[in-house]
């Protein structure tokens, strides 16, 4: 009985320190991807069309990632099935996973129609297993790496000819942030104008090698599942926040062009100040949501204070910004800094947030990860 299989992995926004645990080996703290300019709000919840464009950095996939294997066989029992971290997840009718799989099958059918010798995989059930080697649903963008890996894995299985940008149209419908994880380097998700979403896709703004000195450090403040998922949080913000309208109309458009310019010019000051201000703007709209959403906690705010103080001292002595913090929908911090400054940043964070022994060591978590057999980026 014919059976086909493909394994890929996609990176997320992580490398690790705990608020009470800095990475034991700062040299390996090269992070994967993290948002420099956030997506928060949908204008169409079914197609996942955002209310603003966004931009993120995919730094490396050596560390935190989702690894997904998909297989198909004419011998499988009817119905697609999905396992996440070893536990079966229901594929809900009309739900996001089903939408992605239906779109991928449609493209596979086109392959089969063009080539009559191609296996009729589009008619066979799928079996998909994915593992995250970092906390799931904890504000570390597992939906981004997870859905990107799912879409990319099935696209490899189906030998689809579509480009990463075309695949990003499908990943976007799995989880908005997932569309950006199909690329390495600096990636924009262009919100697009069309109602059918055909122009709401990810594009690479610059390759990783364009600015290799840009490093990032992830501070794992909590690995617990967050109380409010990104999906429901942003829906409540769209429904209730007046500040969101200001953000969408008067804040984001200029910042998108300014951060793209800063990346092109390798201007760390410009990049850092927009990144921090966007993070604060995003968490301000969360607070402006009714009832308010609190993703940051006291430790997150203490990290902000430490970075602000480091930057103030550097500017006061005639230097530039040293570091930029940014927080996803969760309490965990990502700190961007140029490579030359990272050892000092790590030791400062270590000093203020000494390690405790009861927190899982991120690098042991990494060692436990499933090996990827092929990967993008």
Residues of this chain that interact with Co ion (CB under 5 A) are 143, 230
* Angle, in degrees to the nearest 10, between helices 96-114 and 164-174: 150
- CB-based contact 115:163 (threshold 8 Å): no
- CB-based contact 152:8 (threshold 8 Å): yes
Q: What is the rounded CA–CA span in Å between residue 42 and residue 199?
A: 15
CB closer to ligand ADP, 140 vs 188: 140
Q: Is 327 helix (H, G, I), strand (E, B) or coil?
A: strand
- CB-based contact 272:324 (threshold 8 Å): yes
Residue 147 CB, nearest approach to Co ion (Å): 9
- 303, 329, 338, 365: residue in contact with ligand DP6 (rule CB under 6 A): 329
- CB-based contact 164:58 (threshold 8 Å): no
Region near ligand DP6 per CB under 6 A, out of 31-39, 272-280, 307-315, 367-375: 31-39
169 binds ligand ADP (CB under 6 A): no
What are the residues facing 68 on neighbouring strands?
A: 8, 130
Residue 64 CB, nearest approach to ligand ADP (Å): 11
230 binds ligand DP6 (CB under 6 A): yes
Give residues 163-202 in contact with ligand DP6 (rule: CB under 6 A): 175-177
Q: What is the rounded CA–CA span in Å between residue 153 and residue 141?
A: 18
328 binds ligand DP6 (CB under 6 A): yes
- 16, 19, 140, 170: residue in contact with ligand ADP (rule CB under 6 A): 140
54 binds ligand DP6 (CB under 6 A): yes
The secondary structure of the chain in percent helix, strand, coil, rounded to multiples of 5, reads: 40, 20, 35
216 binds ligand DP6 (CB under 6 A): no
Eight-state DSSP code of residue 2: -
Q: Which one of ligand DP6, ligand ADP, Co ion, none interacts with residue 54, CB within 5 to 8 A by kind?
A: ligand DP6
| Residues found near ligand DP6 in the complex (CB under 6 A) | 35, 38-40, 48, 54, 141, 143-144, 175-177, 230-231, 328-329
| Residues found near ligand ADP in the complex (CB under 6 A) | 66, 84, 130, 132, 136-144, 146-147, 149-150, 175, 229-230, 328-330
């Amino acid at each position: 009985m014919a059976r086909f299989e493909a394994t890929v992995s996609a990176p997320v926004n992580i490398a690790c320190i705990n608020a009470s645990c800095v990475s034991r080996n700062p040299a390996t703290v090269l992070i994967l991807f993290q948002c420099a300019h956030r997506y928060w709000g949908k204008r169409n919840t079914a197609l996942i069309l955002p209310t603003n464009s966004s931009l993120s950095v995919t730094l490396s996939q050596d560390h935190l990632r989702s690894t997904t294997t998909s297989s198909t066989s004419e011998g499988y029992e009817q119905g697609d099935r999905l396992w996440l971290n070893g536990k079966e997840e229901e594929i809900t009718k009309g739900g996001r996973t089903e939408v992605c799989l239906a779109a991928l099958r449609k493209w596979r059918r086109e392959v089969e129609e063009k080539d009559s010798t191609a296996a009729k995989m589009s008619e066979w059930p799928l079996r998909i297993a994915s593992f995250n080697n970092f906390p799931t649903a904890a504000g570390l963008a597992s939906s981004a790496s997870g859905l990107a890996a799912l879409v990319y894995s099935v696209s490899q299985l189906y030998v689809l000819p579509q480009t990463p940008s075309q695949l990003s149209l499908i990943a976007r419908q799995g989880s908005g942030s997932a569309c950006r994880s199909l690329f390495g380097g600096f990636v924009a998700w262009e919100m697009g104008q069309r109602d059918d979403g055909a122009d709401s896709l990810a594009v690479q703004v610059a390759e990783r090698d364009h600015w290799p000195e840009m490093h990032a450090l992830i501070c794992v403040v909590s690995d617990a599942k967050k109380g409010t998922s990104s999906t429901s949080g942003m829906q409540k913000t769209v429904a209730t926040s007046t500040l969101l309208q200001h953000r969408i109309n008067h804040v984001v458009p200029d910042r998108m062009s300014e951060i793209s310019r800063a990346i092109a010019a390798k201007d760390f000051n410009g990049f850092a100040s927009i990144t921090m201000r966007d993070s604060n703007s995003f968490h301000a709209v969360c607070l402006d949501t009714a009832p308010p959403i609190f993703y940051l906690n006291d430790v997150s705010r203490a990290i902000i204070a430490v970075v602000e103080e480091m930057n103030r001292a550097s500017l006061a002595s005639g230097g530039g910004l040293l570091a930029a913090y940014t927080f996803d929908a969760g309490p965990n911090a990502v700190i961007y800094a140029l490579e030359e400054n990272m050892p000092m940043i790590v030791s400062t964070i270590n000093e203020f947030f000494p390690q405790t022994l009861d927190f899982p060591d991120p690098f042991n978590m990494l060692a436990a990860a499933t090996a990827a057999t092929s990967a993008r980026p």
